Structure 1
Amino acid sequence: MKAFFSRLAKLIPQGKFGAKILLLANANILAQGLGLVFIPLLARLYDPADFGVLAAYTALISILAVGVAGRYDIAIPLASKEQEAINLAGLSLAIVIGFSLLSGVLILIWGHLFASVLNLPQLAHYLWLLPLGLLLSGVQQIFTSWSAYRHNFQALARVRVAQVLGQGVLQVILNSFGAVGLLLGFVLSRLAGSVALFRDIISRFSQISPSSWGRLAYNHRVFPVFNMWAALIDSIGLQMVPLLFAKLFSADVTGFYGLAMRVVGLPGFLVGQAVGQVFYPEASRQRGKPEAVAKLVASSATALLKLGGPIFGLLFLCGPMLFSFVFGAQWREAGEYARYLSLWLLLNFISSPLSSFVLVADKQRAALFFTIYEIMLRLLAVWGGAAMEDPKLSVILYALAGVVISAVYIGWVFRLAKVNSWHWLKTNASYIGSLLLLMAALLGFSFLVSEVAFVAIAFLGMGLLMVISWPSLRRNLDV
């Protein structure tokens, strides 16, 4: 696998923003292509309730992992010298280990009570995996930031493929154990990043100086004091939904939502995350050059729009049919959820990679207050649907809240980067209009042909739009 990515890197022009994104995106596509092979099989090996337990567990991991390193791992790509970066990694690792041990003690004391509050008593049997999951997720985050600092995107690519392949294989092999098989596959697949990080740290052991950690912690205190709480609140707003669904509805509903988010979230993982991991160190390098930063932000947003438009448009048009065909008729409702979520996730696909510019612009304090409003809006949306005892209404209201949040956030990042929002919209108006007209035309076909034919026509139409827009998309990445 290492040789494969080395050869791939040689085929890509080095030193360009788009080339680095392409390397990670190709790795993500390969990884998730492998992952997609497993999802239909897993959907038939496990019940919706098992996926509900997985969704609740991964939501807990995602929330707690935000602060597991005190956010000092996020400061690594901003380090001016390698010695500072490696010691930030060491400081982060020490915090991760301490946090994971503390979570183990708390689970031992209050684990059953916590599972009961969530209305998922079966989760109590698996909470012993939470400290291990936090440890490995925290180490993975440190590895990601360290690799971004060193511009070692080949290592990130290799680890990503190994993780997805390992998770899928383990979950298939362990299916006889029920929900625990899904959880173990998720947790143990994170070992690849841990091994890679420890190998790098050991090779630079002479540069590690624990006596410097106190000074580094103080110099970068803005990350745990402001950024961590903003990120934690944002994560709660996103990840509390499966936990609330488990509490307010049922494990089956939680499973439908969990699978929908896993599939609809793939484009963000495939490409959006790759853009974000390259964008952050690049934006940090360009700070102090207003014109270069504005061009980087605007071009990245345009590229993400043109990449995401056909993908999320297709999910809006064909979500229920695709889920029913691929995963089985029992998962059609998950496809409905995917349809409702598609518009928000398109805007989130654009805003999420650009969000790291807030760190570059040193606006963590403002981000904290922005995130408080986000979580209030998200949770009110879910509770609104729960008050009507309608999980679909909860998903729709949650998606609408996400549309508002992401649109406002994109506008804020543009303002920080001195990008004219109206000029950006006018520049992309023809593309947006073409996308909407194509979707309207395809919807007309849905009343005239069978579901299978409609899916084929929708794939053809959105694929054609992607091909037509590809030359301009490449120009946007070549910054």
Structure 2
Amino acid sequence: MTNVPAPPAHTGVLRQVLTLLSGTILAQVIAFVAQIGIARLYTDTDLGYLGIFTSAATLGAAIAGARFDLSIVLPAPGDEASARSLVRLSSRCVLATSALATLTAACAWPWVSSRYGSALAGWMLAVGVSVLFLAQGQVCSYWLTRHRRFQSIASSSVVRSLGIAALQLVCGFVAGGGLGAAIGATIAGQGIAVAYLSWRARDARAAEASDPSLRTVASRYRKMALVGVPNVVVDALRTSAIPMLIASYSVAALGQFNMAWMALQAPVALIAGALSQVYLPRLSDTPPGEMTRVVVRVGGTALGLSIPVFALLAWISPWLFPFVFGARWEAAGYFARSLAPWLALTVATSPLSNVFVVTYHQRRMLAFACVYCAAPLAWLAVSPYGIEMTVAILGALMAVLLVGMLVMAWVTARQYDRGDGTRPQGT
């Protein structure tokens, strides 16, 4: 009998990347096409208020799982009992954080109302619901990632994008735009997405008597929370505070910025999202001696794909945005040009950020995250220029910092390959 040689390992990785790309491409196409209609139904002020709401929800969702959600992929293959317990632990953390987010929004009502109006203050009471949907979706996605069920993750991207886009268009048309239609449709779309993901990951709820207790897995993986959560808090603070500081120029300026950001996120999600989800479990299985090769291959591939795409976008964006989205979005085109270098480097660093997790160098990543957070916030706070020049310098500053992160990931991989490759049990 003739033995058929097994396909090389990179073939499986390529197939997984293409599976995720298929869903991501369709999801981004749906979002981009819908954005053309959304840009005509909502004003830049409407989308600016939506940006404030989503910034708060993103901050809460980033820390809701206390990094126990990311730990779902770490138990050894076959240790499904620990992984199931981590799912339950993460979900309880998500519920507690969602309730805290609602309480915080209620306490902040007077400040939000005086600064942005009572309409936004009222909708901010729903931020806990958005945190719940976003964070629980992450828990389910990590369970699917652990089991290499990338087809389910790809299809969930389509469901999420289609649900949010369709509801924003319908609600915007019926209500004639407005803050309530933008935020309400977004929350409803997130609910549809998490319901789909929960159904796909329903086997995670099949608890068995042999599963370790939540206290046991919380103790075993406590370093992920103790070290990882501060890292995530700093990163989420940057992501949320940048829009808030831009809104200090005007809510309309934030709407223009968010339009540019959302449009450029299509190629970022297309490349970085697929690579990150595929290589996280693979990096966690990479033995010492091979990490540098994997890091160089992933970073080189991501840079090779991103630089031409974002160079083209930087060139044509000032013309493209008014042509596609309407004359009112001319400023967004110039914002897109300024953001292109930053997002091009984001594509390369997003998958490589997992290197610090799987080699247990989260403290190193935390140090970088602090600098990466403080630098843009300080610049936005003290910039003597107008919003256009301020964002242009911001994009260049963030790109330079991400080049430093690429170097740091390479150094970390080399140290791991040279012997600093012991992975502490249960951290």
TM-score of the superposition, structure 2-length normalised?
Answer: 0.89
Alignment match, 2:31: 35
1:298 to 289, 296, 299: 296
Q: Which runs of 5+ in 2 are unaligned?
A: 1-8, 416-427
Using the TM superposition, give the Cα deviation of residue 416 of structure 1 relative to its aligned residue in structure 2, in angstroms.
Answer: 1.1
Q: 1:373 to 1:24 in 2, by over 3 A?
A: same
Q: Distance in 2 between matches of 1:290 and 1:201?
A: 37
Cross-structure match for 1:137: 134
1:414 lines up with 2:410 in the alignment: yes
Check the 8 A contact 1:143/1:196 in 2, yes or no: no
Distance 1:43 1:269 in 2: 21
Aligned residue type for 1:255: G
1:194: Cα distance to partner? 2.6
* Residue 166 (1) aligns with residue 163 (2): yes
Q: Does residue 1:334 correspond to 2:332, yes or no? A: yes
Partner residue in 1 for 2:370: 372
Aligned to 1:218: 219
Counterpart AA for 2:141: T
Change (3 A) 1:122 1:254: farther
Work out the number of aligned pairs and report it. Answer: 401
- Structure 1 segment 408-447 matched on structure 2, within 5 A: 408-418=404-414
Aligned equivalent of 1:345: 343
Q: Distance in 1 between matches of 2:193 and 2:288?
A: 34
Equivalence for 2:256: 256
Which amino acid in 1 is paired with 2:280? Y
Q: What does 1:182-197 correspond to in 2, within 5 Å?
A: 182-197=182-197
Alignment of 1:71-470 (within 5 A): 71-80=67-76, 81-117=79-115, 119=116, 122-175=119-172, 176=175, 178-199=178-199, 200-201=201-202, 204-207=205-208, 212-246=213-247, 248-286=248-286, 288-291=287-290, 293-385=291-383, 387-388=384-385, 390-418=386-414
With over 3 angstroms needed to count, the CA separation of the structure-2 counterparts of 1:198 and 1:25, relative to structure 1, is closer
Whichever residue aligns with residue 105 of structure 1, its letter is L
Describe the superposition over 1:145-180 as per-residue Cα deviations: whole angstroms up to 9, x where unpaired: 111101110110111101101111100111115122
State the distance in 1 between where 2:209 and 2:153 align. Answer: 23
CA distance in 2, matches of 1:116, 1:208: 53
Alpha-carbon separation, structure 2, partners of 1:66 and 1:17: 27
Maintained 8 Å contact 1:355/1:413? yes
Given the alignment of the two structures, is residue 16 of structure 1 paired with residue 17 of structure 2, yes or no? no
Name the SS of the counterpart of 1:124 in structure 2: helix
> Residue 226 of structure 2 aligns to which amino acid in structure 1?
V
| 2:32–2:266 Cα contact (<8 Å) kept | no
The runs of 5 or more residues in structure 1 that have no matched partner are 1-12, 420-479
SS at match of 2:71: helix
1-structure distance, mates of 2:67, 2:210 = 19
**Deviations, residues 250-285 of structure 1 (Å, cap 9, x unaligned):** 111010001111011211111211100111111001
Distance in 2 between residues matched to 1:24 and 1:209, nearest whole Å: 33
Q: How far, CA to CA, are the matches of 2:319 and 2:22 in structure 1? A: 27
CA separation of 1:378/1:343 partners in 2, compared to 1, >3 Å: closer, same or farther?
A: same
| Range moving further from structure 2, 122-131 or 151-160 | 122-131
CA contact (8 A) 1:312 1:346 kept: yes
Matched-pair contact (CA < 8 Å) for 2:98–2:128: yes
Q: CA deviation at 1:289?
A: 3.5
Alpha-carbon distance in structure 1 between the residues aligned to 2:410 and 2:113: 42
The alignment's C-alpha RMSD in Å is: 1.9
Q: CA deviation at 1:35?
A: 1.4
Query: Deviating runs (4+, > 6 A) in structure 1?
Result: 208-211
